[in-house]
């Protein structure tokens, strides 16, 4: 029992450090953004109305939508948009047209998530270091360079892994939430009337009396919710219970104390609205607070970057991105990975964002639209899981998800007003990435269709070959093929040029499934084709690590014995030639051909030994 409690404590501490970094640092800019533009007059009723919106936004969206509803929709224990997309897709697989539509919507949501991965580090670190301007206005010219330096260091250390740094995440974020809670409580003690904002009547009064103003304000209020998706995305790392305990015992109370404290300060001193978070602190605590805030925002950024790596890997496994180089940074935790292309692309986007906008206020204008769209997509996918996966009655499904869908849509409508001020930036990034992902998916479909059209039946081919068999040499040949039962081009080239056949021949197809994990007992399927030739299918979930040599070791004792030292892997290296005609638009075919050319070699992706790989190329027109 003591061990169980200890484990729960450790997991809860880890959840505080990783899951709540983004939403926990929203206090730096969310409340400030409401009054920064000057559109909302600072009156007692308006401040209480805004605080009430903050309280009920966090209660309805985080506590009810994510904690109570969404976290129930786990895909074999996994969360996140890709896991939910796979779960919704499986739930309605009988309806192929609807399934394709959901895949398009879900993949666009993933593209939006990557756009969020650029904005979050930029706005978080900038808002923390802008605290130096409160210390001394002379620090203003140094905020942007310092922010870029901090972020460059953060992205530069990604290749070393996060295991050691991760141990600090929990304690630092516990200190952060404790400090911001105390700061807020001190201000509330000076003006306890702000606690009346807990009543939804204040939010309703503000929305009814100042409906146009309230609609404009919702885009800023929404900033307090950014990072809520992490509760669901990181569910597999910590479990539902630790995430829920962390939220209700520390995170939500600390956030609400701080937001209400900022409201109390602004009521006492309207000039404090320019930077209410830092102005709550006494002068002697400003520099330590800036340091702590910077650490907290770095942790928030780190969690999102790690999430981007995992999302990229899952997207590759599901066939929406080309193979990328994926490095494992921990020998113990297979989930800790580093994807160089994603890392440096995110850094490039962060540098562009900071250079374009230059301040957290300006970046806050770009923030929100992509996150609110992701939340609506999550609600939509959840409907199909609840209705078709769990089988609940239609009226109940519409009522439960429709309620949150209306709230999400309202936030999107308010955030859409930010598009001219910067909201276009993450949307453009998402559209570009979606085009890349959809082009890769469609290109792979066309390429596979072309290969199938030209394919030769494997059984018939082998039967013809063994009428007058070629010379057989010692060892095992592993031929990779996209479709089981078809002759790989590598085999044709090997027979044509080398005129030999190995003693044992495996025709291997690697299949990726729309579930997170495929167990070892279902990893390998084998079928004898005669003459020591075997058809092998290797199954992976989108969170499994692909290691083909390791998987093939499971063939021992099943009639096919492999010796790693005498095994050669034959791969077809196809060169795609775009052609005018049916298929995709010419520019998309050229884009696909370039991506196909630059994709990491299958040998690297499947972790094949470098000294045992033979690649044989061919040109294919699509």
Reported as a single tens digit per residue, the pLDDT across 305-360 is 887 887 888 888 888 888 888 777 665 555 567 889 899 999 999 999 998 888 88
Pairing of strands 327-328, 500-513: unpaired
Q: How far apart are CA 244 and CA 139, in angstroms?
A: 40
Q: How far apart are CA 382 and CA 370, in angstroms?
A: 18
- What's the pLDDT score for residue 334? 52
Degrees to nearest 5, angle at CA 463 with 458 and 464: 100
Six-digit token string for 328: 């494992």
Name, in order, each residue with C-beta under 8 angstroms of 595's C-beta and a sequence gap of 6 or more: 322, 436, 439, 440, 443
C-beta pairs of 58-64 under 8 Å, 24+ apart in sequence: 58/224, 58/225, 58/252, 58/255, 58/256, 60/404, 60/407, 61/225, 61/228, 61/375, 61/404, 61/407, 62/23, 62/225, 62/228, 62/231, 62/247, 62/252, 63/247, 63/248, 63/252, 64/404
Q: For tokens 């290797």, what's the residue?
A: 538
Residue 199 has pLDDT above 90, yes or no: yes
Report, in this order, helix, strand and coil percent for the chain, each rounded to 5.
70, 10, 20
- What's the pLDDT score for residue 145? 93
Q: What's the 3-state SS for 147-192?
A: HHHHHHHHHHCHHHCCHHHHHHHHHHHHHHHHHHHHHHHHHHHHCH
Residue 91 has pLDDT above 70, yes or no: yes
Is the separation of the CB atoms in 513 and 525 below 8 Å? Answer: no
3-state secondary structure of 277: helix
Q: For tokens 């020591």, what's the residue?
A: 532
**Torsions phi, psi for 571 (to 5 deg):** -120, 145
Pairing of strands 337-338, 327-328: antiparallel
Q: How far is CA 431 from the centre of its chain?
A: 16
Nearest CA to 127 out of 223, 26, 28, 18 is that of: 28
Q: How far apart are CA 4 and CA 190, in angstroms?
A: 42
In sequence order, the β-bridge partners of residue 533 are: 505, 530
Under the banding of pLDDT at 50, 70 and 90, the label for residue 162 is low
- What's the pLDDT score for residue 244? 92
Residue 341: enclosing H or E segment and its boundaries?
Answer: helix 340-357
Q: How far is CA 594 from the centre of its chain?
A: 25
Edge-to-edge strand list for the sheet holding 524-530:
524-530, 533-541, 500-513, 471-480, 567-577, 613-621
Residue 135 has pLDDT above 90, yes or no: no
Question: What tens digit of pLDDT does each residue of 542-553 get?
Answer: 878 889 999 999
Q: How far apart are CA 185 and CA 206, in angstroms?
A: 24
Is the separation of the CB atoms in 509 and 534 below 8 Å? Answer: no
- What's the pLDDT score for residue 6? 60
In sequence order, the β-bridge partners of residue 526 are: 536
Q: 472 in the Ramachandran plot: left (φ > 0), alpha (ψ -120 to 50) or beta?
A: beta
Q: How far apart are CA 609 and CA 603, in angstroms?
A: 8
Question: What tens digit of pLDDT does each residue of 253-300 get?
Answer: 999 999 999 999 999 999 899 899 999 999 999 999 999 999 999 988
Highest mean pLDDT among 69-83, 165-179, 197-211: 197-211
Rounded to 10 degrees, the C-alpha dihedral 604/607/609/613 comes to: -50
Is the separation of the CB atoms in 596 and 622 below 8 Å? Answer: no
Six-digit token string for 314: 């899952």
Work out the end-to-end distance of the chain between its first and last CA atoms, rounded to an integer number of angstroms.
62
Q: For tokens 């936030």, what's the residue?
A: 411
The pTM (predicted TM-score) of the whole model is 0.83
Domain definitions of the chain by residue range: 7-442, 454-621
Report CA-CA distances (Å) from 377 to 339, 380, 383, 477, 572: 26, 5, 10, 46, 38
Residue 247 has pLDDT above 60, yes or no: yes
Six-digit token string for 621: 């027109």
- What's the pLDDT score for residue 234? 78
Under the banding of pLDDT at 50, 70 and 90, the label for residue 68 is confident
Nearest CA to 377 out of 585, 106, 68, 20 is that of: 106
Residue 617 has pLDDT above 80, yes or no: no
- Which one of 1.10.150.80, 3.40.640.10, 3.40.190.10, 1.20.1740.10 gives the CATH number of domain 7-442? 1.20.1740.10
């Amino acid at each position: 029992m003591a061990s169980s409690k200890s484990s729960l404590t450790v997991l809860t501490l880890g959840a505080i450090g990783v899951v709540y970094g983004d939403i926990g640092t929203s206090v730096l800019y969310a409340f400030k953004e409401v009054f920064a533009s000057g559109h909302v007059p600072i009156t007692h009723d308006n401040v209480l109305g805004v605080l009430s919106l903050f309280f009920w936004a966090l209660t309805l969206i985080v506590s009810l939508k994510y904690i109570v509803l969404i976290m129930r929709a786990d895909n074999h224990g996994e969360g996140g948009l890709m896991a939910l997309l796979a779960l919704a897709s499986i739930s309605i697989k009988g309806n192929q047209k609807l399934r394709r539509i959901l895949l398009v919507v879900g993949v666009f949501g993933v593209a939006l998530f990557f756009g969020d991965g650029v904005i979050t580090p930029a706005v978080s670190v900038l808002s923390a270091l802008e605290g130096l301007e409160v210390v001394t206005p002379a620090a203003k010219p140094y905020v942007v360079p310092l922010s870029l330096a901090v972020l460059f260091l953060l992205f530069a250390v990604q290749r070393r892994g996060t295991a050691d740094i991760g141990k600090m995440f929990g304690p630092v974020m516990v200190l952060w939430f404790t400090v911001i809670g105390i700061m807020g409580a001190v201000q509330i003690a000076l003006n306890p009337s702000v606690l009346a904002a807990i009543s939804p009547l204040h939010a309703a009064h503000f929305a009814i009396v100042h409906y146009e103003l309230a609609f404009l304000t919702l885009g800023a209020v929404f900033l307090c919710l950014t990072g809520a998706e992490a509760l669901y995305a990181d569910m597999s790392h910590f479990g539902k219970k630790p995430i829920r305990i962390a939220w209700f015992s520390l995170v939500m109370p600390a956030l609400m104390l701080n937001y209400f404290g900022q409201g109390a300060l602004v009521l006492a001193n309207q000039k404090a609205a320019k930077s209410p978070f830092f102005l709550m602190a006494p002068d002697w605590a400003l520099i330590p607070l800036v340091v702590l805030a910077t650490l907290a925002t770095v942790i928030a950024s780190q969690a999102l970057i790690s999430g981007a790596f995992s999302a990229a890997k899952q997207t590759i496994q599901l066939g929406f991105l080309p193979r990328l180089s994926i490095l494992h940074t921990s020998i113990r935790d297979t989930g800790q990975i580093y994807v160089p292309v994603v890392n440096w692309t995110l850094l490039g986007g962060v540098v562009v964002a900071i250079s374009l906008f230059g301040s957290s206020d300006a970046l806050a204008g770009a923030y929100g639209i992509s996150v609110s769209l992701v939340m609506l997509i999550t609600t939509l996918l959840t409907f199909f899981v609840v209705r078709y996966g769990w089988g609940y009655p239609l009226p109940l499904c519409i009522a439960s998800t429709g309620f949150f869908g209306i709230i999400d849509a309202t936030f999107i409508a308010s955030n859409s007003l930010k598009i001219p001020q910067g909201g276009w930036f993450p949307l453009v990034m998402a559209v570009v990435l979606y085009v890349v992902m959809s082009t890769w998916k469609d290109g792979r479909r066309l390429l596979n269709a072309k290969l199938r059209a030209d394919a030769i039946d494997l059984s018939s081919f082998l039967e013809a070959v063994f009428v007058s068999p070629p010379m057989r040499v010692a060892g095992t040949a592993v031929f990779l093929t996209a479709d089981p039962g078809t002759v790989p081009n590598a085999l044709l080239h090997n027979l044509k040029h080398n005129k030999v056949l190995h003693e044992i021949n495996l025709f291997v197809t690697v299949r990726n499934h729309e579930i997170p994990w495929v167990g070892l007992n279902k990893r390998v399927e084998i079928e004898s084709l005669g003459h020591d030739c075997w058809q092998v299918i290797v199954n992976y979930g989108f969170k499994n690590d692909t290691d083909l040599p390791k998987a093939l070791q499971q063939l021992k004792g099943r009639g096919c014995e492999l010796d790693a030292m005498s095994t050669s892997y034959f791969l077809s290296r196809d060169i795609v030639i775009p052609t005018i005609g049916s298929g995709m638009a010419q520019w998309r075919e050229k884009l696909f051909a370039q991506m196909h050319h630059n994709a990491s070699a299958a040998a690297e992706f499947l972790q094949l030994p470098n000294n045992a790989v033979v690649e044989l190329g061919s040109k294919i027109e699509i």
